Every structure is written in C-alpha cells, then in structure tokens.
Amino acid sequence: MANKLYPDAKAALDGLLFDGMTIMSGGFGLCGIPEKLIAALRDAGVKGLTVISNNAGVDGFGLGQLLETRQIAKMISSYVGENKEFERQYLAGELQLEFNPQGTLAERIRAGGAGIPGFYTKTGVGTLVAEGKEHKDFATASGTETYILETGLVADVSIVKAWKADPYGNLIFRKTSRNFNPMMATAGKVTVVEVEELVPTGTFDPDHIHTPGVFVQRLFVGRDYEKRIEQRTVRQREPA
Amino acid sequence: MWTRDQQAARAAKELQDGFYVNLGIGMPTLVANFIPEGVDVTLQSENGMLGMGPFPFAGEEDPDLINAGKQTITELDRTSYFSSADSFAMIRGGHIDLSILGAMEVADNGDIANWMIPGKMVKGMGGAMDLVAGVKKIIVLMEHNAKDGSAKFKTACILPLTGKGVVDMVISELAVLARPAKGAPFRLIELAPGIDLDMLKARTEGHFEA
C-alpha cells in the first residue's frame, strides 16, 4: 500500500506549499479545526493565501494566527465576527473577503469535490449574493421559482481534522467537530488530515466510516490538542 | 406589552408535535425554554446536529459539541450528527418545519434584512440566507421599533436583504402579525396586553389587515 503516514504536521505539508495557493481549512468556529496544520502553515511562512473556511478563527488561535503573520490575502467564509485583527486588516483594505451563505459554501465544496462545476440554489435570490450570477426559473412543487447559479470550489490543499483514522486514511469524526471537514477532504487536490488517534487497519466497522480513505493523501497524529471553547455555557444543577 | 420571555413563550405556541425546528441566536434561543408540555420537537443546529440538548453542567463541557452560536451543549437519546452539507440539505431541501430568527427589518411583502448594515463591519450572513430560503415556515422574533424609534415592520426594507418574500409571522412585544401563505398580506393575529390597534398602528410603518 502507498504510505500515507507522516510523523508530524511539518512533514505532512512538505513539498505541497507555494505562495498564492488556495487552502481549504475545516472547522466551525474553533470546533474541529486542524490546529496542528494551521500552526505548521504559520511556521512555513507561505504567503498570499486564499483560505476557504467557514470562519476565520479568533485573535491568536486557529486561522487568526495566519492573519497576524499577514499570510492570508483572501478569505471565503460565511461568518467572521470573532476576530479583531481580521476586522482591522479588512477595513484597511489589506485583506479580501468573499461572503458565502453557509449552506452555499458547504454545497460549493461538496460539488467541487464531486466533480460538479456548478449548481442552482434559491439561497440568496433577491440579495447582494445574487448580483452578477446567472438566474434561472425552474418548475417546482410550489410553482415556478427562481434559482441562482453557484460554482463548485476546489483547493490546492485541504487541511482537515478528524477524530480517528486507520493507515488507509479512512476517517471517523466526533460529534459537531465534523462540520465542513468531510466535504473539504473531497475537494483538495491533496488532502492532509490530522487525527487524535491512529487505529490498526480493520479496527473500524466499514459501515461506520465517515470519509473513505480515497479522499486522504497524507495523515499524521497530532499531540496535545488545545481544543479551545469559544462560548463556554453551562447550566446550574438543581439543588438536592 | 410582552416581556422578552413572554414573546418567546408566544412563539413557542407555534411549535407543533413532531416538528423539526431551527432557532436563531439571541432571543429565539429562549423559545426552547417554553416548549409546551406534550409537544415533542427536535432542535436542529446548522453546524451539524439534530436533537440538541440543554447546556452542560459545569465540568462536563465538550469542545467537540457546540451549537451554531458556538456555545457548549449536550446530546439527547435521539441525537444525530452530520456534515454541514447534510445539514443544509435538510434546511435548503425543505425538511425543517420551522425557523425562528431575529431581524433588523421586515417588510410587509415578507422581505427580511438581518445580516448587514452598510458602512459598519459586516460579520457575514452565516446560515441565515439558507434558512429563510429553505425552511417551510419563518417566524421573526424582534422588537417592534429600533433604538431610534423607527418601525422595524416596514413598507420596504432599507437594509440589504437576507431573503425576499420569505417571512410568515412576526412576533414583537406589541403584537403578532402573520399571513396564511407567502404572497398574501399580513394580518393582525393578536395584541399584547395593554396594546390597542391605534397604538400598534402608530408604531408600525408596514401595512397589515386589522
């Protein structure tokens, strides 16, 4: 079998990086982000990046680290509200930003990975998002409705966080840290995955694999995950 | 006039047994506290979860388990997890029965604006445009007037739209306005205690049938 295993994030990215490249980065907020690979991108110093990610991290963590070092030239995201450095660079004209509705972003990535160059959606019809896009009417169960054309997205490299993998690159995600990771795994020319645990081949029930190994080219086990919580929210126990 | 909790409780009356529901960030989140007894609803969180449970007890937070507001939450016996693409297949594909969300403006033709104020830093629309375009019924929970006193239920939205002609019901601290179908005019359904029609009209710009 082809070896997909690498010792760490730096080794797993070796030979893949170049200035001006497009990177997809998994996660929702700070949940399920490839924290080791983002740190390795920062250390590699690659510049002029277009980063496709639902969010842009927070100051000093996640993609916020690549903003501090000015490595990102453009973000394609649905929501970027948690990051002061992002706001500063954007308002200063140093950073380009393309907003996509969250479901449109997810589907553009799914389509790109599935070899579908475009699709029609009614999300965003009649809004700024629809400006300059092809409009087309379709007959539906509730009558004729207008849809807009959205294009598929692919990346030079996708960086993905999963919970567990086997040596063939079969992946299992955990709870809501799955989010954008499975689609991004399909849409990278090269997909690099970090996991918390590597299990021997044959451990997974084949029916329970979320992402089949064909989508994964490189793989390593990350250590000491920080897994920051953005909004720690708890309830009080009822008094006994 | 209704308090915020009473507004949320009024919105909760729209929940029906068996509904799959997506609640927006802010006041709509309160609706989960007022689900009527005997009504079983499953809450969807667009970051990839059906069957959202309550907040965890201190010490039991799981960083891999958050809602769309990035708050720590818990799972239930019925819970399922899925990708963002599957999540928005549910939303865009019309499989979610009801979404309750906030708004800066709603027009009397059902237009909604809740994501962008030109000239201010724009954070993004997140999942709001997908929700209003795809969910079967859209309820807006909002204050009747903006801080400067201007009406938020208008003849036309001034702010950039989130969706066109998509709102079915508006619940403010003063009244419930609703329409039986997209395209139909809004009608007054209910006045909050102490509010009469003249008071409501004085504070409303958009057209509704009394």
For A162-217, write each residue's pLDDT tens digit: 999 999 999 999 999 999 999 999 999 999 999 999 999 999 999 999 999 999 99
What are the tokens at A143?
């009558």
In three-state form (DSSP H/G/I as H, E/B as E, the rest C), the secondary structure along B155-186 is CCCCCCCCECCCCCEEECCCEEEECCCCCCCC
Select the residue from B44, B60, B64, B164 to test the A interface by mutation, using most A Cβ atoms within 10 A: B64
Give the closest of A78, A91, A231 to B126, CB-based: A78
Inter-residue contact B71 to B63 (CB < 8 Å): no
Q: B110 in contact with A at a CB cutoff of 8 Å?
A: no
Mutation to test the B interface, candidates A82, A175, A197, most B Cβ within 10 Å: A175
Angle at A199 between CA A193 and CA A205, to 5 degrees: 100
How large a percentage of chain B has pLDDT more than 90? 97
Close Cβ partners of A15 (under 8 Å, ≥ 6 residues apart): none
What mean pLDDT comes out for the span A218-230?
96
Tokens describing residue A175? 């709870």
Question: Inter-chain contact B47–A28, Cβ cutoff 8 Å?
Answer: yes
The whole-angstrom separation of Cα B46 and Cα A24 is 20
C-alpha distance from A70 to closest chain B C-alpha (Å): 20
Q: What percent of chain B has pLDDT over 70?
A: 100
Average pLDDT, chain A: 96
Q: Please state, in angstroms and rounded to a whole number, the distance separating the CA atoms of residues B54 and B140.
A: 23
Considering only residues A127 and B121, tell me which one the structure prediction assigns the higher pLDDT: A127
Beta strand residue intervals within chain A, DSSP E: 22-25, 49-52, 72-77, 96-99, 118-121, 135-140, 143-151, 155-165, 171-172, 188-198, 218-221
Contact call for A80 and B123, based on CB within 8 A: yes
Interface of B with A in 114-153 (CB under 8 A): 116, 121-130, 133-134
How far is the first Cα of chain A from the last one, in angstroms, to the nearest whole number? Answer: 58
Residues A32/A26/A90/B130 CA torsion (nearest 10 deg) = -100
Beta carbons of B182 and B168 less than 8 angstroms apart:
yes
Over residues B66-78, the mean pLDDT reads: 96
pLDDT band at B128 (very low <50, low <70, confident <90, very high): very high
pLDDT at A238 over 90: no
Residue of B60, B71, B81 with shortest CB distance to A175: B81
| CA neighbor of B45 nearest in space, from B107, B90, B4 | B90
Mutation target to probe the A interface, by most A beta carbons within 10 A, among B129, B137, B138 is: B129
The pLDDT value recorded for residue B164 is: 97
At residue A88, what are phi and psi to the nearest 5 degrees?
-60, -50
DSSP letters, A132-184, are: TS-EEEEEETTEEEEEEEEE---EEEEEEEEEEE-TT--EE--GGG-TTHHHH
State how far the Cα of B59 lies from the Cα of A233, in Å rounded to an integer: 11
Whether A81 and B72 lie within 8 Å, measured CB to CB: no
Q: Which chain A residues are within 8 Å of B83, Cβ to Cβ?
A: 106, 178-183
Are B99 and B132 in contact by the 8 Å Cβ rule? The answer is yes
B87 chain-A contacts, CB cut-off 8 A: 103, 106
Q: Is B88–A77 a contact, with Cβ atoms under 8 angstroms apart?
A: no
What pLDDT, on the 0 to 100 scale, is given for residue B186? 98
Q: What is the ipTM of this complex?
A: 0.96
Condensed to tens digits (0 to 9), the pLDDT of residues B80-107 reads: 999 999 999 999 999 999 999 999 999 9
Question: Is residue A1 very low, low, confident or very high in pLDDT (cuts 50, 70, 90)?
Answer: confident
Kindly report the average pLDDT of chain B as a whole number.
Answer: 97
Q: Token digits for B97?
A: 């029965």
Q: How many residues does chain A have?
A: 240
Active site residues of B: 46
Residue A142 has pLDDT above 90, yes or no: no
The whole-number pLDDT of residue A240 equals 63
- The minimum CA-CA distance between B124 and chain A, rounded to whole Å, is 4
- Three-state SS at B85: helix
Q: Which residues of chain B have a CB within 8 Å of the CB of A105?
A: 84
